[in-house]
Structure 1
Amino acid sequence: MEGQTKDFELIPEPRTVEINPDSVVVLPYAGRIVENAGEWDVADVWANQVADDIEAATGLRWDIAKGDRWQSFITLSIASTDDLGRDEYRLTIAQEGITVVGGDAAGLRDGIQTLRQIIRQCAPSLPEIDIKDKPAYQTRGYYLDATRGRVPTLDWLKRWADKLCLYKYNQLQLYVEHTFAFDDMSETWRGTSPLKPADIIAFDEYCAARGIELVPSVSTFGHLYMALRTRELRHLGEFPEQADRPYSLIERMEHHTLNITETDAFALSCTLIDDYLQLFRSRKFNICGDETFDLGKGRSKPEADKRGVATMYADYVSRLCGHLSEQGREPLFWGDIAVEMPEILARLPKDVMLLNWLYAPDITDEKVRLVAESGATQYVCPAVWCWNTLLPRLDWAWENISRLAQYGRHYGAAGFLVTDWGDYGHVNDPRMTVPGMIYGAQCAWDSQWADGSGDDAHVELDRRISIAEYGDSTGEFVAVLRDASHQVAFGWDNIVRYLELDYGDGLLNADVRDSIWTDEHDSADGVDYADLIHASTTLREARMNLLTWLKSDILRWSEANTALRADVARLGAITAQAAIYDSGATRGGLLQPMLVAAEGQRLFNELGVCLALRDGVIAEDEITGEVLPDRFPQQVARGLEQWFETYAAVWRTVSAESELRRIANVIWHYADLLRS
């Protein structure tokens, strides 16, 4: 589109676009859409998506028909020709009408989403335009955490599938550990608002109708923390004697591995697989198998001493994959263990898909190349970087997603799977991941889109997302949100770390201490704070070392909070003028999660100051720019309690109650501590 002017944005950006800048096509006041997608869209969902957007833009409801005998202004069809190949589409908007032709059903669906974005931003006067387009990655997936504290409502899941469809994702996986109501496992899922079979069946149908493959994904090897704490299943863990340790948001990420030498272990894994897969139409199944940190360290150590951890891991994953292959299923698994122990790669079945998750913002191509050279088939899997925080880390998300998209294409990756996690209780609102999700949509569609552009590409995509997604004609919305994300002086991750360094009895939790790594922040003074923290022998010493590492961030709390207030004001001003594209959406609904996140972060920043003062890491005369009021800690305590009530109400608009209480316990603990 170089050299041509337009007042709308398309994401992902099409590869070939021709616009007539001197002509517009006005939608008729009464029109018809004819869709001929055959068995791929029996219910005419795609035609109704177009009709819904026309109605939202103009207030007029268009008719829908199928076949070749009806007059129409918009025609949607599949026509595999020499001109259009697999996953390809052509969209033409002309005076005589609009046509979307797909080389197959996938191409048609994606072309319709491009038309919808134009209608949303331009109707009733559309540009005269011709687009021919196809994606870089055939599989463009999203991986949504539904287990680490937050279980989305079915209504929210459907809204998320609609958004994924609009941005041309075609695969979705829900991450499940203990939040599915498996038969005879109620001790594992009680109190978590688990998803039920009917939810999965309904959601699978909903996704399929929108061209999205819902792929089952359940932990079958590692990450079985909640199951292995139960009385019925604890004997299957590597460390059953630790099942009664106090619950820990951090430890649940660290200790959770199945003891595969136990007779009943394989039967449990197969039960999880066999019960779950029957609910899905997909032939794929993700057994997970990631972060098996305890393998060979507990009850299975004698076996590991004889055979080696790598052999044990490869053999068990191969057994699970074989179990799926025997049923005509295609196994997928997370590749972190195999990549760290490359001898595993040679032992894996040839029909398994390795999900190569690599989250560093400055990631290199080393591990993508390693898997490619081994002959294994892989998806490359970046992250939206929203876990453990109220405000999304958009800088890190962009760097990670854009780099990995290019590496994956260079080494022939079969798919691109953007991950969205909720570590430490899933404090992050799922709506805050939208910009990162759209980064993934653009890079999966055209992996070279940002090649050589550096920061300019990030800035440009933020502008385009602001317009296309948030209805912001200024193009500033995402840039302001990105600035807000820079104002984290004391974040949720360190709030949880500080708290859980206490085992619960005033003694140091060594496992939590050892989980803290300081490479997330550059040390200005050259001190290796990881070594200091890991050498701590008492709770007080560990907490002081943690806060000392964070001191420079904590001291900028006043500056950060001033910037947060300015960002909130700007977001409010932008939203007041924003166009609303989704039916039933409101400007308040758009702004709601942003306001709650910014206010929570402001209070978290103040909490960091209170803790640093309390533990003697900073003195009050080191605080510049603001005089602390009398009884400042009590003021922060009241603010946290009031904020949490609003946070909880907003949580319930998109999520079941699930494990909201765990976030409440953290907030209330600090409120009590500040008053003591």
Structure 2
Amino acid sequence: MQYSIGAQKRHFDLIPAPSTAEFSGAAMHLPYAGTIVERDVECDPGCLFGAQLADDIERVTGIRWDVAKGQCWRSFIRIEIDGSLGAQAYRLGIAQTGISVRGGDSEGIRNGAQALRQIIRQCGPVLPVVLIGNKPEYKVRSYYLDVTRGRVPTMAWLKHWVDELCLYQYNQLQLYIEHSFRFDGLSETWRGVDALRSQQIVELDSYCAERGIELVPSVSTFGHLYQELRTRGLRDMGEFPQDADRMFSFIERQLHHTLNVTDPKAFEFSTSLMDSYMGLFRSKQFNIGADETFDLGKGRSAGYAKEHGVAQMYADYVTRLCNHLAEQGRRPMLWADIAIKMPRMLPSLPKDAMLLNWLYSPEVGEEEVRLLADAGLRQYVCAAVWCWNSLLPRVDDAWNNITRLARVGIKYGAAGFMVTDWGDYGHVNDPRMAMIGLAYGAQAGWHPSVPVERDEMDRMISHVVFGDETGGFVTAVADASRCRAFGWDEAVQYVELDDGHGGLNREVFDIVRTNNSGHAGMTGDALSVFQARKLMLAGKSERLSNVDECQKRLKQAGMCCQSALAAARGDRSGFMRTLAIALEGQLLLNRFGAAMALKTGAVQGGIGTNECAELAGELERWGEAYADAWRSVSQQSELGRVLSVIWRCADLLREDDPSL
């Protein structure tokens, strides 16, 4: 969107982009001082939105404007309700004589103020004369953040992320909790992971509410109870208590974690989690999880499952949980994956439950969304920012998944749109790397039916989010993300093929074999850790044989990323550091995969002992830098487990004979 300052052409962008924009082509100058007045805006008693605008004006002018509320104050920036605009809609007018922010309701006020903030940040103190209107297609635009699989963020960072969600006009946040909250009486589950405290949740809930964001509680109550079901006190409630003493595994954490619902204590345990947690939140909604219940009916409940069927067991248990919430005046949410896999249970599910239909494929289609719509069930469609298990965000996958699913959801009347941000395998992905996916989701949640072209969206994000006037930053990150010859997930799998006692972990091997199905090198069985690792690397031989070309492309893309940030508007030093560590880490992982392929004989050639030792040292030095970056946004939590994978990779490089 372009305007003129004399003979100079300037432009600005908004995320989400507006429905309408009427330009005069002229510009106006903010006065050296002024007052921002909120007129009868009861939804913002502390004038937070006015204060946000004052902060941004001070950032670009150095002068602090005043903020007031009521009808008696003269204002240059006026914020007020206009019910004729409709729910969540806003009209933003910038004129020579002043600025007007009108919202159809409290959310409209918030949305309009955030749009003005984006313009001030890009253009201030000389702003375009323009009239902008906008209204979202999805009434609920949610962000789902994993704070349980390795990282527990600091409160400062969580509040920063809420501020980002507010700026890009999301209106819901869910934090994913398993064992990372200090539930009363369950210290055995959360000890040593820097778990969140109840006071922090209350504080965050208030912080979100002030910014127009609903903080929804989300707790695993059925599946994904890996840490809980490994404890002495709770293991007997699991399907496979005999596995509770197996060595910790990032991979097994994703697989073994399901309650034995035939145990009378199971329901009491699930409801105790919900009852103690829900009171900390304003929201009347509650997400019970209930996804990926892989073990259901396979262990202690196998006899009951044979008689009643796994689908009925699942439907009965989630119905009991949902009914319990309803009795407390709460509205239940649950993930939809199990119901979709066993659709005969759909008529048995509570009609008041909101199904969270997670579909992360970049080629996502309509079938699963249509299935729930045809069954008369309410749903959010849930995409992903595609950062998990990777140091660099997989930008292409995020774009395709988010934009396609948003369109499908609108087509079938989904009640909300969610983007999820997961941390599988220790949450190695720095949460700051999710900003591109967050911005994709912001645009898709407002206007899925009128999609922006990919190149244009990437330019807008580069400009608005990262301050890159050239518009090339996101494209460079996407280029870098394609240069992944050996990823973090593969490093974890490679390490965890060892069961911790020198024997082969058959479950991990089955996963590796499944992931490499179709690769010529991944054939046959393995009887030892060495054989399994060699087969794994042989399955990736094409990638690892061409690692030099991959490294060249990654370095070039990395230089483009860093060059764009170096010239960006504002202080980007924090993100520059994060990006540099991620780029270097991926270069090292690529080299590690290639080195081990040569060392095990999975790829023909040779590698010297000194070269391996040098790479091991580089990995160790990188690990320390990575740890410092982790601590800048996260508690210590499970950093030690992440580092243990890096140290083990270094040790493997130094081993004289990898077959031993």
TM-score by length of 2: 0.96
CA shift in 2, pair 1:654/1:37, >3 Å: farther
Matched residue, 1:113:
114
Q: Report Cα offsets for 1:344-372 as digits up to 9, x if no partner.
A: 21101111000000001101111000010
Give the aligned partner of residue 19 of structure 1.
23
Q: What is the CA–CA distance in structure 1 between the aligned matches of 2:24 and 2:517, rounded to whole Å?
A: 51
What is the aligned partner in structure 1 of residue 604 from structure 2?
619
Name the SS for the 2:632 alignment partner. Answer: helix
| 1:365 paired residue number | 366
CA drift of 1:629 comes to 7.0
Per the alignment, residue 501 of structure 2 pairs with 505
The residue aligned with 1:479 is 475
Alignment partner, residue 393 of structure 1: 394
Whether 1:668 and 2:650 are equivalent positions in the alignment is no
**Structure 1 gap segments, 5+ residues each:** 581-585, 622-627
> CA–CA distance in 2 between the matches of 1:398 and 1:484?
15
Q: CA deviation at 1:271?
A: 0.5
Q: Which residue of 2 aligns with 1:563?
A: 553
Instruction: Say if 2:38 and 2:70, in contact at 8 Å, map to a contact too.
Output: yes
d(CA) in 2 for partners of 1:599, 1:75: 48
* Cα offset, 1:320, TM superposition: 0.3
- The Cα offsets for residues 331-388 of structure 1, whole Å up to 9 and x where unpaired, read as 0000000011111211011110000000011011110000100000000000011000
Letter in 2 for 1:613: L
Give the TM-score taking structure 1 as reference length: 0.94
CA contact (8 A) 1:36 1:76 kept: yes
Counterpart CA distance in 2 for 1:527 and 1:368 is 35
Q: Deviation of residue 528 (structure 1)?
A: 8.8
Report matched runs for 1:146-545 at 5 Å. Answer: 146-450=147-451, 457-516=453-512, 527=520, 529=522, 532=523, 535-545=525-535
> Retained in 1: the 8 A contact 2:333–2:355?
yes
Secondary structure at the residue paired with 2:250? coil
Q: 1:376 to 1:76 in 2, by over 3 A?
A: same
Which of residues 7, 11, 15 in structure 1 aligns to 2:11? 7
**Aligned to 1:68, which of 67, 71, 74?**
71
Note the alpha carbon deviations across 1:59-94, whole angstroms, 9 max, x for none: 11000011111101000111212xx11111111001
Please give the alpha-carbon distance, in whole angstroms, between the structure 1 residues aligned to 2:310 and 2:374.
23
- Among 561, 569, 593, the alignment partner of 1:608 is 593
Conserved? CA contact 1:361–1:397, under 8 Å: yes
The change in CA–CA distance for 1:295 and 1:320 in structure 2 (over 3 A counts) is same
Cα 1:518–1:558 shift into 2, 3 Å: farther
What is the CA-CA distance between 1:559 and the residue it aligns to? 1.8
CA distance in 2 between counterparts of 1:29 and 1:555 reads 62
Amino acid at match of 1:238: E
1:77 lines up with 2:80 in the alignment: yes
Deviation at 1:648, TM superposition (A): 0.3
- Does the Cα contact within 8 Å between 1:489 and 1:555 map onto a contact in 2? no
Partner of 1:135: 136
What one-letter code is carried by the residue in structure 1 that aligns with 2:634? Answer: S
- Distance, in Å, in 1 between the alignment partners of 2:58 and 2:517 is 52
Q: Distance in 2 between matches of 1:466 and 1:411?
A: 32
User: How far does residue 590 in structure 1 lie from its aligned partner after superposition?
Assistant: 2.3
**Percent of matched pairs sharing the same residue:** 53
- Inter-partner Cα distance in structure 2 for 1:332 and 1:293: 19
1:552 is matched with: 542
CA distance in 2, matches of 1:2, 1:472: 16
2:634 aligned with 1:655: yes
CA separation in 1, counterparts of 2:537 and 2:108? Answer: 53
- Structure 1 residue 571: Cα displacement: 2.5
Counterpart CA distance in 2 for 1:273 and 1:85 is 35
1:630 CA displacement? 6.3
Residue pair 2:382, 2:419 contacting (<8 A) in 1 also: yes
- Alignment length, in residue pairs? 651
- Structure 1 residue 481 displacement after superposition: 0.8
Contact 1:75 1:100 in 2 (8 A): yes
Unaligned runs of 5+ in 2: 656-660
| 1:574 matched to 2:564 | yes
How far did residue 222 of structure 1 move?
Answer: 0.1
Across the aligned residues of Structure 1 and Structure 2, the Cα RMSD in angstroms comes to 1.6
Are residues 596 and 356 of structure 1, via their aligned partners in 2, closer, same or farther at CA, if it must alter by over 3 Å? same
d(CA) in 1 for partners of 2:180, 2:367: 35
Q: Is the 8 A contact 2:521 2:541 kept in 1?
A: no
For the residue of structure 2 that corresponds to 1:516, the secondary structure is: helix
Q: 1:629 to 1:577 in 2, by over 3 A?
A: farther
SS in structure 1 of the partner of residue 391 of structure 2: coil
CA distance in 2, matches of 1:387, 1:562: 24
2:658 is aligned to none
- Pick from 53, 57, 65 the counterpart of residue 56 of structure 2: 53
Aligned partners of 1:149 and 1:422 also within 8 Å: yes
Distance, in Å, in 2 between the alignment partners of 1:289 and 1:373 is 22
The 1:597/1:522 distance shift into structure 2, 3 A limit, reads: farther
Contact 1:37–1:105, Cα closer than 8 Å, also in 2: no
Q: Find the counterpart in structure 2 of residue 589 from structure 1.
A: 574
Q: Which residue of 2 aligns with 1:41?
A: 44
C-alpha distance in 2 between matches for 1:132 and 1:176: 38
Which range moves more in the overlay, 498-507 or 26-35? 498-507
**Deviation for aligned residue 1:460:** 1.4
Shift of 1:286: 0.2
Aligned equivalent of 1:599: 584
Letter aligned with residue 643 of structure 1: W
Shift of 1:19: 1.0
Match of 1:624 in 2: none
Partners of 1:557 and 1:115 in 2: CA distance: 46
- Measured after TM superposition, the shift of residue 511 of structure 1 is 1.2
The secondary structure found in structure 1 opposite 2:396 is: helix
What is the distance in 1 between the residues matched to 2:450 and 2:508?
41
Q: Deviations over 1:168-204 (max 9, x none)?
A: 0000000000000001100100010000001100100
* 1:537 CA drift (Å): 4.0
SS at match of 1:39: coil
Report deviation, 1:3: 12
1:507 and 1:567 mapped to 2: Cα distance? 40
Letter in 1 for 2:582: A
